Amino acid sequence: MGAREEPGAILQPAELRPAVELVNKVLEQLGRILLGQSELHRMVLVGILSRGHILLEGVPGVGKTALVKALGQLLNLDFNRVQFTPDLMPGDILGTHILQEAGDGKREMTFQPGPVFTNILLADEINRASPKTQSALLESMQERSVTLLGTTRAVPEPFFVLASQNPIELEGTYPLPEAQLDRFLFKLVVSTVPVEVLDSIISTRRRGEPPLPTWTMSAEQLRQVFGVMDGIFLPRPVSRYVSRLVAATHPSGAEATEAVRGYVAYGASPRAAIAMAEAARARALLAGRPTVGFGDVKTVAPAVMNHRLVLNYKARFDKVDAFSIVEGLLAGLDEAGLDLPSDLEVSGAKDDD
């Protein structure tokens, strides 16, 4: 199912309900397979539904690889895992040409596709590979194609890169360049599970192995969900709010906060606005609504923007991170854009969910 042809129409309940049920089932399965981290599962699913790439940051052993594997199983998508090491070469990811002898005795160069030719690519410890290798992923992430020796080959649809990086053991690592960071829809922090969940894992699973899913989504169903995603309506005020948020991350922005002016060197790019809009749509779908609300934007904004802000040295000295700056921005910016004077107060807020 492609994008809806009628721009003025809103998905009706009958159209929305099947997709909502499907995604809820995915979440349910994820929750069964991977105990705890329900919010992380939702955000990852939001990223998937937005057809974006996700950067998972967390210490080893918190379940990043298990999550990606489970997702691949649930969505019936091909899954490849690449452990990034310092000696990894671009050809190891994208593929290479090898000389092969054909049946008629002729020798020709045959392309051997690399692990990137999959639906879900788990780039484990992406910051361990050299920048050359990291940049090999750039084209595939953005263009969803690989060009080698003049030939462009499309990667399979859908294509997701879920990369992980270790926030500790930074010796011998190569921080991801801004250009590559900007191509990730989300940066999600994977934290350790609570004690109760850990207890449950230990007591119910041998060697921590997750159970297999009891249900998977077919390709057709996935296409249906993506089709419904395309029909989620983004009202103009919300679109305006997303734009104002992104503009406010720049120190020269009219609505920039004091923290932005003091700590941010470079703000988020227009790609962040596009990512936020898409992620908000997915969030609305998860909530069972055909339209995007301000709450959806506020939920996805930190994950979208916290890896896109380039902070200055003052932020490093004052130990201010991008997350707190984004939170401050969300708290200070008026969603509806009424620009009321400070002595006029509107009270009686209600959550969208």
Partner 1 sequence: MNEHENAIGEFTSRLGALLTARLALTFIAAWGLLWGTAVLILRAAAGTPRSHLLWGLLGVLPAAGLGTLRALRQMPGRSRVRALLDKESGCGGLFMAAEEADVGAWRAQMPSITAPRLSWHGGRSWALLGAASLFVIVGFLVPKRLVTLNPGHGLDVDKEIERLTAQIDVLEEEEILQREKAEALQKKLKQLRAEASGEDPVKTWEALDHLEAIPKHAADEAAEAAVSQTEKLTKAEALAEALAEALAEAPAQGADPGLVSEAMQELSQLVEEAVEENERLTRRLQRKDLRKLHEARELTPEQLEQLADTLRVCKRDVGELLERLSEADLIDLETLALNERVGQCDTEGLAEFLRQNAGRMSIGDAVAQWQREGPGRGGVDRGPGDAPMTWGDESSEEGAKFKETVLPPAALEAMRESVLAGVSVGEPTVEGDGDASESGALSGTAAGAGSAFTQKLLPRHRGTVKRYFERE
* Least distance (Å) between residue 335 CB and partner 1: 6
d(CA 46, CA 56): 14
Q: For partner 1, what does the binding mask look like between residues 220 and 239, x meaning CB under 8 A?
A: -------------xxxxxx-
247-286 positions binding partner 1, by CB under 8 A: 284
What is the residue-wise DSSP string for 273-322? HHHHHHHHHHHHHHTT-SB--HHHHHHHHHHHHTTT-EE-HHHHHHT--H
349: Cα within 13 Å, side-chain hemisphere = 10
Q: Which of 293, 303, 305, 315 binds partner 1 (CB under 8 A)?
A: 293
Q: How far is CA 208 from CA 62, 124, 163, 195, 202, in A?
A: 11, 19, 22, 15, 7
Q: Which of 53, 124, 296, 308 binds partner 1 (CB under 8 A)?
A: 296
Q: How far is CA 144 from CA 8, 119, 164, 326, in A?
A: 30, 11, 19, 30
Q: Which of 290, 303, 304, 305 binds partner 1 (CB under 8 A)?
A: 290
Q: For partner 1, what does the binding mask look like between residues 2 and 31, x meaning CB under 8 A?
A: ------xxx-xxx-----------------
Q: Which is nearer to partner 1, 12 or 112 (CB)?
A: 12
Q: Which is nearer to partner 1, 167 or 337 (CB)?
A: 337
- Amino acid identity of 73? Q
How many whole angstroms from its chain centre is CA 77? 17
Q: Which is nearer to partner 1, 105 or 341 (CB)?
A: 341
Give which of 127, 185, 178, 177 is closest to 161, Cα–Cα: 185
Q: Which is nearer to partner 1, 179 or 336 (CB)?
A: 336
Q: How many residues can be counted in the chain?
A: 353
Q: For partner 1, what does the binding mask look like between residues 301 and 340, x meaning CB under 8 A?
A: ----------------------------------xxxxxx
Phi and psi for 243 in degrees, rounded to 5? -65, -45
* Least distance (Å) between residue 4 CB and partner 1: 11
d(CA 229, CA 283): 10
Q: Is residue 287 exposed (0-12), middle (13-18) or buried (19+ Cβ within 10 Å)?
A: middle
Q: Which is nearer to partner 1, 57 or 296 (CB)?
A: 296
Number of residues lying near partner 1 (CB under 8 A): 40
Q: Which is nearer to partner 1, 103 or 341 (CB)?
A: 341
Q: For partner 1, what does the binding mask look like between residues 46 and 85, x meaning CB under 8 A?
A: ----------------------------------------
Q: Which is nearer to partner 1, 3 or 340 (CB)?
A: 340
Q: Which of 103, 105, 150, 348 binds partner 1 (CB under 8 A)?
A: 348
Angle of CA points 311, 316, 320, to nearest 5°: 75
Angle of CA points 283, 289, 293, to nearest 5°: 65
Q: Which is nearer to partner 1, 92 or 335 (CB)?
A: 335
d(CA 40, CA 186): 11
Q: Which of 151, 203, 252, 347 binds partner 1 (CB under 8 A)?
A: 347
* Least distance (Å) between residue 43 CB and partner 1: 18
Binding-site ranges for partner 1 (CB under 8 A): 8-10, 12-14, 233-238, 284, 287, 289-296, 335-341, 343-353
